[in-house]
Amino acid sequence: MATAQELLKRFQALKTLPHVAIRLSRVISEDKCAVKDLEEIIRLDPTLVLRLLRLVNSPYYALSEKANSISRAVIFIGMKNLRNMVVIEALKDIFKKGDLEGVFSRHHLWLHCAAVSICSQMISERIFGQMGEDAFLCGILHDIGMIVAAQVTPDLFFQACQAYTPDAGPLTHLENEIIGTDHSKVGYLLAADWKLPLAVREGIRDHHKALATVSPDSVTGTLQLAEYMVSRINYAALPGMTATLSPPLITHIHDNLEEYKTLARDLPDEMVKARDLYAVPVE
């Protein structure tokens, strides 16, 4: 039976995730992070340079003068948006292939994570009036542990996916029985290794837990709300997978039903916008 630390260590040994992205994420989390430090790292990845300049010069930012340097682009886009863009770039390739005989599709998982991240940001900003970058980041990363398990221990992960039914409870229960750990724990450790904010790590760790107390406007609460909404429009991580919704969040949705209906209607357009802005594939 594997532990979460063992799975992550074996995954990291494969060097699947780009070194530049990991290094950038860690540097951005430092209190004394300077633009010149980021510029030196970004220069090491020409693809990342092109993505950054294309993003900051997109109609979304509507700059009066084109940004043609890394440092200028970083200043306009901001540290958290840069971090999110870097994470998306790091994850794209590892979500492209490696399906497990019809029960698990990396492509479908990517669509699920993209939809959850966009919905999480919408909830954070529209319902709670907060900045939504951390909610977006938590959404895009919340199931990264499934990729780790699928790559490091594919046979056991296949068994867990094959055994899953909506009546069986969260997938994490089956993963713990069959593998010895679950994707939420693994994702939490990966996020800690990248030095991501504690609230993001906790959201990843707890998104399958029915919590007796959770604030709807916390990253964890927002993530569960987003997964619940996304699961109802056919963007599940696995076929038929249902989302966990803690009791306080059920009450919250009931009390704000009209706002969530409006948000649900706007979600498809926001997904298209995210595709154009961050190059997040959502189709």
Q: What is the pLDDT along the chain (283 residues), one digit of tens a residue?
A: 679 999 999 998 887 777 888 888 888 887 677 888 888 888 888 878 888 888 888 777 777 788 888 888 888 888 888 888 888 877 877 877 666 667 788 888 888 998 999 999 999 999 999 999 999 999 999 999 999 999 999 999 999 999 998 887 789 999 999 999 999 999 999 999 998 999 999 999 999 999 999 999 999 999 999 999 998 887 888 888 888 899 999 999 999 999 999 999 998 888 877 766 555 555 5
> For the domain that residue 240 is a member of, what is the CATH number?
1.10.3210.10
- Domain membership of residue 88 (yes or no) is no
Identify which of 185, 161, 176 has the alpha carbon closest to the alpha carbon of residue 240. Answer: 161
What is the pTM for the complete model shown?
0.87
Q: What angle do CA 134, 146, 209 make, to 5 degrees?
A: 65
> Does residue 265 belong to any structural domain of this protein?
yes
Find the domain containing 144 and state its range: 4-15+97-278
Residue 77 lies in a domain: no
Domains identified in the chain, total number = 1
pLDDT value at residue 36: 84
Contact status, residue 161 vs residue 151, Cβ threshold 8 Å? no
Asked whether residue 223 is assigned to any structural domain, the reply reads yes
> How far is it, in rounded angstroms, from Cα 257 to Cα 67?
42
DSSP, res 170: -
